[in-house]
Each structure stands twice: as C-alpha cells, then as structure tokens.
C-alpha cells in the first residue's frame, strides 16, 4: 500500500497552503464580522486555479484528480470555512452537475467561465419543505411549447446571489411516474432570466463570508434545451453530485480540524499557567494527542474514499462515512481548541472562535449526520428511515 501523494499533489498542497496563509488569513475575521463575500479573494482563487480542479483542460479546468481537489479544499478550510465553502460549492455542486451530466453545448457555454472563477453557479436542491427529504421537491416545471415554465422556491443555496452568479441547477417536478412518485428533472436557469430572483440570506451563525441565498421562480421560462441530461434523472443526478460533495465537506472537516489542532498546539505551548506551558499538563497533552489521532484517521478515511472515486469504484458508502466522521472530528477538535484557549477562545480576536461556529454547518449541510448514518446503515444491509 502506497500512501505517498504525487509530486503534483504535494506542490498543489504547498501552493494552496501558502495562498491561504497570505491572502485569506488576514481578511477572514473581518469578512466574517461584516458577513461579506470577497470578490477580491474570489478572483485570486480563480487565478490560482481553485475552480474546475477535476475538470478536463478542454473545458478550462485543471485536469487533476478528485483527491487533488479535496486537498485544495482541506488547505483552504485549515484557514477559513467561508472561503472553503465557496470553493467546495463551486467545484462539486456548481461545476459538477454540468460537467458530468451536461451536453456538449452546455459544457462549452458554462464551464470555462466557472472554471476560471469569473462566474459562480448554484445547486438548487433544498426547499423550505424538502431538506433531508430531498425527493419531496415542490418546485414544478411544465413544458409549454418549447419552454419550461418553472414555479417554486429553493433555500440555503450557496454562491447563487453574488454579482458574478451566472445561474443555478434547479431540481423540479416535471411529471408523475407510473408508481405515483414524482418525475424529477434538473433544469439550468441563468441569472437574469425573467421570473427568477435570488435573494441573499443574512444573519448566519457560520460561513458568514460565503454567499447563501433563497431562490424564487415565478413563471420563469427557460428554453427546453436547458434540461440537464435526461428528463426524469434529476434526483439521481443530485444524489450522485452529493456523493462527490460529501467528500468536499469531509475535506472541510479535515482541514478545519487541522486548523483547530495547529492553533491549539501553538497556543498551549506558549501559554503558561502555574509556571509551565499548559501543554505540559497531562490533561491538555492528552487532548492534543486525541486530536492528532482523530485527524490522522479522518485523513485516511477521506483519502481512501477519494481514491475509490478516482479509480471509478463505488464510493457512496465511504463518502457518507468520510463526511460524517470528518465533520464530527472537526466538532471535537474545535471544542478542544476553544477549551485550551480558555477565556481567549471565546473572543473574536482568536480564530478558534470562528472555527467553533463554522464547524456546525458540516454536521448539517449536504446531508445531516443523521442522513449519513441512514446512508451508511443501508449500505451495510440495514433498511432504515
Ligand atoms: N447516487 C445515485 N442514485 C441514488 C443515490 C446515489 N447516491 N442515492 C439514491 N439514489 C437513487 C436510488 O437508487 C433511487 O432510484 P430509483 O428511484 O431509480 O429506484 C432514488 O435515488 C431514490 O432513492 P431512495 O429511495 O434511497 O430515496 P429516499 O427518498 O429514501 O432518500 C436519502 C434517500 C435520504 C438518502 C436522500 O434523500 C438524501 O440524501 N437526503 C439528504 C439530502 C441532502 O443531502 N440535502 C442537503 C443538500 S445541501 S447541498
């Protein structure tokens, strides 16, 4: 078994790490405080090649493997969850569906701009009454001549209401199946289409530097050719996309946990109480040791899931495991890191305070921890829901 990363992956890790330290770290706390999306760092991330990492060069991507993309996400998350959210949502949820299910015209039209970071694209799955029960989509699309007419709404959609948001992939009911279930299809809707409105959501606890939106469709008409892939395949497309997206949430959990560990180790070596560094108290040393073990396990689990994907092997179960475990590891690491910082960990002057808030999203977004356990249970032969 060879655990060595390739030279390209090592170089990517180093360059993303140094970019995140230099360009994101100095602005992350302020963006979080102001709840502001940064177009400046967005542009710089585009120039660095952080979008379309796994997309072929023919469409403007970097032509690297999925593990490389996850390593990049991990390194951004080590410094800031909001920027990692922008990167992860754009790559796996924005670009992913168009790249994997789009026709040649759609790929040529949208991917180059999305891969350069000039434009963002949303993933319109969640609705006010269709969260964990994603198939319960109420948004409808009816074919009228050669146009789809869309009515409904979506919520908690990342990257959909910035001034560079170019559009969104929307899961819609397009009919009924013989067995009574809904026929669900994905439709691409461009920003600026009459009847489509994206409204930014505010007052978030976490990921305050990333863009989150509610989407409204009122008799929104798009050409029939805006259908993504095959009619009726929308739910499968969304679920397959989430398998990949869950790996990137795993990357965010792993990177965030590493960031918490790095801050906790540094602080507890410097902070002295009772005449010695607090890291020298066994109770604290054991916390740091436990964090190191869990981060190592998380990395092995996540990288193995990426390896399965990169080798075209089934990986849904492992993606759910990695997403579940990495987010829960970050939860525990953020908790330990704040505890080790004592009163200072509760202050916004210290980045651990932001990490403690940002980690919570990972146990909820792209399928809650409970949903991951359902997916895993089904894979190990237990039918539950
Ligand atoms: N890849 C491809 N297809 C999949 C799939 C996957 N990972 N998971 C399920 N499907 C398919 C099934 O094969 C089934 O296909 P058929 O209708 O052809 O038989 C169909 O999708 C329905 O699957 P299932 O019966 O398992 O659906 P359920 O409604 O029971 O729920 C869960 C499945 C709960 C796992 C799903 O709704 C889910 O993941 N919910 C969470 C949604 C989520 O993560 N939201 C967050 C979005 S933030 S971007």
Clarify whether residues 25 and 105 are in a common domain: yes
Nearest C-alpha to atom 30 of ligand 1 is from which residue?
385
Asked if residue 33 is part of any domain, the answer here is yes
275 & 371 share domain: yes
Instruction: Indicate the residue among 74, 99, 120 that finishes a domain.
Output: 120
List, in sequence order, every residue forming a beta bridge with 172; answer none if it has no partner.
185
Rounded Cα gap, residues 186 and 184, in angstroms: 7
Rounded to 5°, angle at Cα 83 from 353 and 127: 95
Q: Is residue 186 part of a domain?
A: yes
Counting atoms of ligand 1 from 1, which one is nearest the CA of 181? 17
Pairing of strands 120-124, 165-176: parallel
202 falls within a domain:
yes
Distance of CA 382 to the CA centre of its chain: 28
Could you tell which of 239, 324, 362 is best to mutate to test the pocket of ligand 1, judged by most ligand atoms within 8 Å of the CB? 239
How far from 4 is each of 10, 247, 248, 250, 294, CA to CA, in Å? 9, 20, 20, 20, 20
- Cα 197 to Cα 218: distance, rounded to the nearest angstrom: 9
The last residue of a domain, from among 62, 87, 120 = 120
pLDDT of residue 1: 87
Query: CA dist 126 to 122, 166, 322, Å?
Result: 11, 19, 22
Regarding whether 246 and 162 lie in a shared domain, the answer is no
Residue 243 and residue 373 in one domain:
yes
Q: Ligand 1: which of 85, 121, 134 to mutate, most ligand atoms within 8 Å of CB?
A: 134
Nearest CA to ligand 1 atom 5: 239
User: Residue 277: beta bridge partners?
Assistant: 272
CB 228 within 8 A of CB 259: no
Given 215, 232, 249, which residue is the final one in a domain? 232
Ligand 1 atom at minimum distance from 246 CA = 44
What pLDDT, on the 0 to 100 scale, is given for residue 383? Answer: 87
Contact 265, 285 (CB under 8 A): no
Residue 196's DSSP bridge partners are: 217
363 shares its domain with 265? yes
Assess if residue 288 is contained within a domain.
yes
- Write out the chain's pLDDT in tens, 385 residues: 889 999 999 999 999 999 999 999 999 999 999 999 999 999 999 999 999 999 999 999 999 999 999 999 999 999 999 999 999 999 999 999 999 999 999 999 999 999 999 999 999 999 999 999 999 999 999 999 999 999 999 999 999 999 999 999 999 999 999 998 999 999 999 999 999 999 999 999 999 999 999 999 999 999 999 999 999 999 999 999 999 999 999 999 999 999 999 999 999 999 999 999 999 999 999 999 999 999 999 999 999 999 999 999 999 999 999 999 999 999 999 999 999 999 999 999 999 999 999 999 999 999 999 999 999 999 999 988 7
Cβ atoms of 98 and 108 within 8 Å: the answer is no
Split into its structural domains, the chain has a count of 3
Are residues 192 and 137 part of one domain? Answer: yes
366 tagged catalytic: yes
CATH of the domain at 77: 1.10.540.10
Answer whether residue 2 is part of any domain: no
pLDDT at position 253 is 98
Distance CA 330, CA 251 (A): 10
385 in a structural domain: no
Which pLDDT value is given to residue 320? 98
* Ligand 1 center to 310 CA (angstroms): 22
- Cα 25 to the chain's mean position, in Å? 19
Residues contacting residue 166 through CB under 8 Å, at least 6 positions apart: 110, 113, 114, 119, 120, 121, 190, 191
Output the residue whose Cα is nearest ligand 1's atom 13: 236
Q: Is 80 in the same domain as 161?
A: no
Q: Ligand 1 centroid to 236 CA: how many Å?
A: 7
- In ligand 1, which atom is closest to the CA atom of 157? 49
- Identify the pLDDT of residue 135: 95
Ligand 1 pocket: which residues have CB below 6 Å? Answer: 93, 123, 125-126, 132, 134-135, 235-236, 239-240, 242-243, 316, 365-367, 371, 374-375, 385
Residue 215 and residue 172 share a domain:
yes
Pocket test for ligand 1, best of 236, 244, 316, 368 (most atoms within 8 A of CB): 236
The reply to whether 228 falls in a domain is yes
**In contact, 185 and 236? CB cutoff 8 Å:** no
Could you tell me the residue range of the domain that residue 90 belongs to?
7-120
> Do 173 and 290 lie in a common domain?
no
Q: Which of 104, 218, 366, 370 is catalytic?
A: 366
| Same-domain status, 369 and 247 | yes
Looking at the fold, whether 216 and 242 belong to one and the same domain comes out as no
In this structure, the answer to whether residues 26 and 154 fall within a common structural domain is no
Q: What pLDDT, on a 0 to 100 scale, did the predictor assign at position 384?
A: 84
Q: If we measure between CA atoms, which residue out of 202, 243, 255, 237 comes closest to residue 85? A: 255
Q: What's the CATH code of the domain at 302? A: 1.20.140.10
Instruction: Give 168 Cα–ligand 1 centroid separation in angstroms.
Output: 20
Residue 255 lies in a domain: yes
Report the alpha-carbon distance of residue 124 to residue 113 in Å, rounded. 19
């Amino acid at each position: 078994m060879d655990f060595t990363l390739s030279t390209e992956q090592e170089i990517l890790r180093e360059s993303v790490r140094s970019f995140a330290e230099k360009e994101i770290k100095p602005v992350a706390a302020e963006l979080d405080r102001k709840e502001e999306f940064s177009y400046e760092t967005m542009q710089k991330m585009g120039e660095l090649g952080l979008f379309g990492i796994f997309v072929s060069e023919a469409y403007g991507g970097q032509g690297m493997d999925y593990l490389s993309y996850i390593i990049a996400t991990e390194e951004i998350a080590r410094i800031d969850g909001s920027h990692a959210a922008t990167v992860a949502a754009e790559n796996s949820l924005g670009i992913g569906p168009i790249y994997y299910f789009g026709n040649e015209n759609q790929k040529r039209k949208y991917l180059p701009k999305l891969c350069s970071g000039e434009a963002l694209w949303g993933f319109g799955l969640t609705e006010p009454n269709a969260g964990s029960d994603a198939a319960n989509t109420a948004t409808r699309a009816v074919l009228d001549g050669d146009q789809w007419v869309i009515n409904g709404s979506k919520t908690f959609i990342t990257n959909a209401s910035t001034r560079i948001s170019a559009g969104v992939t929307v899961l819609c009911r397009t009919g009924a199946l013989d067995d009574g279930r809904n026929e669900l299809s994905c439709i691409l809707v461009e920003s600026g289409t009459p009847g489509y409105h994206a409204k930014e959501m505010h007052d978030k606890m976490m990921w305050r530097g990333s863009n989150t939106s509610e989407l409204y469709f009122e008799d929104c008409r798009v050409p029939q050719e805006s259908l993504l892939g095959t009619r009726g395949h929308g739910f499968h497309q969304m679920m397959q996309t989430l398998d990949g997206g869950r790996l990137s949430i795993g990357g965010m959990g792993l990177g965030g946990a590493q960031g918490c560990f790095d801050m906790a180790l540094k602080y507890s070596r410097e902070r002295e109480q009772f005449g010695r560094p607090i890291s020298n108290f066994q109770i604290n040393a054991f916390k740091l040791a436990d964090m190191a073990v869990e981060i190592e396990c998380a990395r092995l689990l996540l990288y193995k899931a990426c390896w399965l994907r990169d080798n075209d092997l089934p990986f849904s179960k492992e993606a759910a495991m990695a997403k579940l475990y990495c987010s829960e590891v970050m939860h525990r690491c953020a908790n330990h890191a704040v505890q080790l910082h004592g009163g200072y960990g509760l202050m916004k002057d210290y980045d651990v305070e932001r990490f403690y808030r940002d980690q919570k999203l990972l146990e909820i977004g792209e399928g809650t921890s409970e949903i991951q356990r359902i997916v895993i249970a089904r894979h190990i032969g237990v039918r539950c829901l």
